[in-house]
Amino acid sequence: MQKTLISIIGSTGIGKTKLAIEMAKHFGTEIISCDSRQFFKEMKIGTATPTDEELAQAKHHFIGHLSVQDYYSIGQYEEDALGKIEEIFEEKDFAVLVGGSMMYEKAVVEGLNDLPEANAENQEKLQKIWDEEGLEKLQEILKKLDEEYYNVVHKENPRRLLRAIDVIWQTGRKYSEIIAEPKHKRDFKVIRIGVTAPREIMYERINLRVDKMLEKGLIDEVKSLTEYQKLVPLQTVGYTEIFKYLEGTWDLDFAIEEIKKNSRRYAKRQETWNRKVENVTWLPYDYSEEQLHEILSKIEK
């Protein structure tokens, strides 16, 4: 029997963790996280890291294994994740991949493209633009060069913006075209399961999720990371807004509304990306036992 990776995709706050745990328990296997912000142990609340109770229900990998001070590239993650999946497949027929970082999911399932190494001159030039003109200028440059990638990239992540612009400048080609090219096939079967909800439900869930983060102590978590706020992992929705509140730039109510708004925007980008992913079996966020059983039966065939 060919080994099978079950990859669960969907927008933020849609219920991917719950489904991943149910899948892992059913198949007696382990979960690989591809949420690039849940890698960092200091960012539990603002990234909605699975709770201790959830982590106890199935073995999870790549959650809280790094510090915000660590450098960890998508290429390193691809290599580490594939190594862990290989380990799991030595004993089990299935493994579960879950998380909202679309490029990280793609790296594991399809592999990364053969992209050029970073160009030092370009990086220096882009860093200067970022320092002097801000993140908005980098966003503007990328939008002009490659609107398709601009529409799906995490726009608050400067590393993604810098990398894409650098590659475009070096190759003279759109980044979205390069990353869409076929890669070497994996030696395991992949089944993608998508969790979906009407937009108003999705937004309602996101708003509620942000309220819960605040109840759990998001402000104190962000405060404890003030000295690291310039680091890339902290250029993240939920953190950048609270830093502005702590600096006195925004009042708390406005910062909270901005977190909700930016989280909704991110969810829309995830939806845009996921609509282009092929061969996905979609499951409603409020799926019934019968619907879940039907999908499990299909996977087992």
Is residue 14 annotated as involved in ligand binding? yes
Is residue 17 annotated as involved in ligand binding? yes
Is residue 7 annotated as involved in ligand binding? no
Give the DSSP letter of residue 66. B
Cα dihedral 71, 75, 78, 83 sign: negative
Is residue 13 annotated as involved in ligand binding? yes
| DSSP of 282-299 | EEETT--HHHHHHHHHHH
Token pair 């991110």 in the structure block, residue: 266
The answer to whether the beta carbons of residues 180 and 115 sit under 8 Å apart is: no
Is residue 288 annotated as involved in ligand binding? no
Give the DSSP letter of residue 226. G
Is residue 11 annotated as involved in ligand binding? yes
Please give the Cα distance from 117 to 10 (Å, whole number).
Answer: 31
H or E segment and range at residue 6:
strand 4-10
Residue burial 248-287, b: 16+ Cβ < 10 Å; e: rest? eebeeeebbebbbbbbbebbbbbbebbeebeebeebebeb
Cα dihedral 141, 146, 150, 151 sign: positive
Structure tokens at 96: 């579960």
Residue 51: count of CB within 10 angstroms of its CB: 12
Residues in the annotated binding site: 10-17
Residues in the annotated binding site for substrate: 12-17
Residues in the annotated binding site for ATP: 10-17
